[in-house]
Chain A
Amino acid sequence: MSVLVYTENWNGSFKKLSFELASYAARLAEMLNTNPIAVSIGQVGRDELEKLSKYGIKKTITIEHDGLTQFDTQTYTRVIADLANSQSAKAIVLSNNNTGKSLAPRLSVRLKAAVASGVGQLPEQLSPFVVKKRAFSGNAQAGLELKTEMKIITLAQNSFELVEKPVDMVIEKAEADLSGIIPKATVKDVEIQTGKLLLSDAEIVVSGGRGMKSPDNWAPIEELAGLLNGATACSRPVSDEGWRPHEEHTGQTGKIIAPNLYVAIGISGATQHLAGISASKYIVAINNDKDAPIFEAAQYGIVGDASRVLPRLVEALKKAKSA
């Protein structure tokens, strides 16, 4: 028996979310009295794989196959489902990112295993198996019972603390049986920006809304984000207007994020905006209207004109950093 965790890699490297997944799987395996096994698909160096052992992973199964260099949901589903069966998985843990969201439902049907998606905590109880998940766009947590023998959980990014628990880990190579699988989609082109901190990976996010008045006023937001090693984001009207790239749009119909710190500048705090950011650990609001709803979601607030407040904040931060 086992808890299987799919640890995706990005050009052979893991990210913080991979270790969050490992930590979660290790703790879940402990609760279920079984072993956590990581599954890694594609080329990942030994040193990189070893990092998983720091978070309690006792065994990693690696699969390298020419048929797996391109991500195809049907092919990957088959590989992970086969492993879940051969390793008698009691639970499969995936990230709630694009990859996890596309694999979890397919695995669910293939393995007849119930899914809870967007989970941030360990199960509340084991029999029945109940786990809390995000519901109503962040306006509630649902206690969801998973009624099947095998369970699937997708873990929300930046919601589960890393738990260091170094163990000895074995690395096993496995073969994938891809017989009869022909990926149907062909990739014509890829546009990818490398080296930029992704909004979903950022622990600090500085975000601007319509109250910024013009795309020409974004320099202090970028400077602030840079000083804090964070990423920039925006409200929907700002991306709709083309002031900022659409990847930055947060909210119900944009990115759903949970950074440690979200700084909302000139953002009113509409429910649809809050739906994407309310899981942030701390929210700071800067707005010239003291009655703006964003202040109800924020722990810290400054009532003032952004064009005046921001430059002073940037200066103060520079000073604090050089002190």
Chain B
Amino acid sequence: MNILVCISQVPDTTTKVKFTDNNTRLDTTGIQWVINPWDELSLTRALELKDDASSGVAKVSVALVGPVSTEPTIRKALAIGADDAYRVDTEALDAYQVAAQLAEVVKAGSFDIILCGIESSDYNGSNVGGMLAEFLNYPSVSGISHLEVQDGQVQVNREIDGGREMLVLPTPFVGIVQKGIAREPRIAAMRGIMMARKKTIQLVDAARVEPLTRTLAYEPPQPRPACKFIDPDNPEQLIALLQNEAKVI
């Protein structure tokens, strides 16, 4: 059984985002690029399953749609432990175009489980996983908080309002993961970093697909008015403000 983890590259989650060119583009100066937190956790879970001989998982691959500048991020995934990688050589323009590219990677390979994150921390689309599944006509399960594989049998937990569902799934399928999939992301050890240099990143030519969306401009959030401080010995004042000024209680 083979697992493909789709990874996207995002600015480090502590980045103070800034825009340039009249707020039409992200200002990338000084940005530290990292693997999207969800994808790091998916990769961690996939590797945990591979480590467990009874799972039947033999290989873990990663795929990223992006230009050559994204290769350090892919190397990082290889250093964490992915066996090999695919890079579709094109700028990622929107979720539809990205999913269409990933669908070609999946069709050309032999993957049983494809994992995507619930959302990228930059463009917050929440779309690539579901789109990929529809392009492939595979089932998809959204909101996976646990993935178990035993002798090739797959069981997942899916978060639903007020609880969770345990599902048994045939392969292939697309799993869209969220909190719970793994506890702490695996980090690359020295040995992994050395080994990653020898692993291959397979270049895939981009399919010709037009994006369906375009971002015209970004707007930084409205600055919040300065905080009103209330005397800790006078909580009545806070209640009065919430009742009469904010009108929320």
CB within 8 Å of B: which residues of A?
10, 72-74, 77, 96-98, 101-106, 108-110, 112-118, 130, 132-148, 154, 183-194, 196, 198, 200, 203-204, 228, 240, 246, 249, 252-254, 260-261, 270-272, 275, 278, 281-282, 284-285, 295-304, 308-309, 312-313, 315-317, 319-320
Interface residues in B192-248 (C-beta closer than 8 Å to A): 211-221, 224-225, 227-233, 235-236, 238-239, 241-243, 246, 248
Residues of A within 8 A of B211 (CB): 147
> Across the two chains, which residue of chain B brings its CB closest to A75?
B139
Interchain CB contact under 8 A, A109 and B135: yes
B56 CB within 8 Å of chain A: no
Interchain CB contact under 8 A, B221 and A109: no
- Interface range for B: 35 or more
> Across the two chains, which residue of chain B brings its CB closest to A249?
B179
Residues of B within 8 A of A200 (CB): 161
Assess A302 versus B235: contact at CB under 8 Å? Given A10-B161, A186-B168: yes
Residues of A within 8 A of B163 (CB): 190-193
Using a Cβ cutoff of 8 Å, how many contacts connect chains A and B?
269
Residues of A within 8 A of B239 (CB): 313, 316-317, 320
Q: Can you name 14 A-B residue pairings with CB atoms under 8 Å?
A: A74-B140, A108-B134, A109-B131, A113-B212, A115-B96, A136-B11, A139-B16, A145-B215, A146-B212, A146-B213, A260-B248, A302-B238, A312-B232, A320-B236
In the bound complex, what is the Cα–Cα distance between A184 and B172 (angstroms)?
Answer: 10
Chain B, residues 127-140, CB within 8 Å of chain A (1/0): the string is 11111011100011
> Across the two chains, which residue of chain A brings its CB closest to B213?
A114
Min CB distance A80 to B, Å, is 12
> Across the two chains, which residue of chain A brings its CB closest to B220?
A140
Interchain CB contact under 8 A, B212 and A299: no
Q: Which of B73-81, B83-91, B106-114, B115-123 is the contact stretch? A: B115-123
Q: DSSP class of A's interface residues: helix, strand, loop or mixed?
A: mixed
B173 CB within 8 Å of chain A: yes
Q: Name which of A102, A136, A200 has the most chain B CB atoms within 10 A of its CB.
A: A136
CB within 8 Å of A: which residues of B?
11, 13-14, 16-17, 19, 26, 37-38, 95-96, 99, 118, 121-131, 133-135, 139-143, 155, 159-170, 173, 176, 179-180, 183, 211-221, 224-225, 227-233, 235-236, 238-239, 241-243, 246, 248-249
Residues of A within 8 A of B16 (CB): 139, 271
Residues of B within 8 A of A96 (CB): 126
Residues of A within 8 A of B166 (CB): 187-191
Residues of A within 8 A of B217 (CB): 142-143
In the bound complex, what is the Cα–Cα distance between A319 and B235 (angstroms)?
Answer: 11
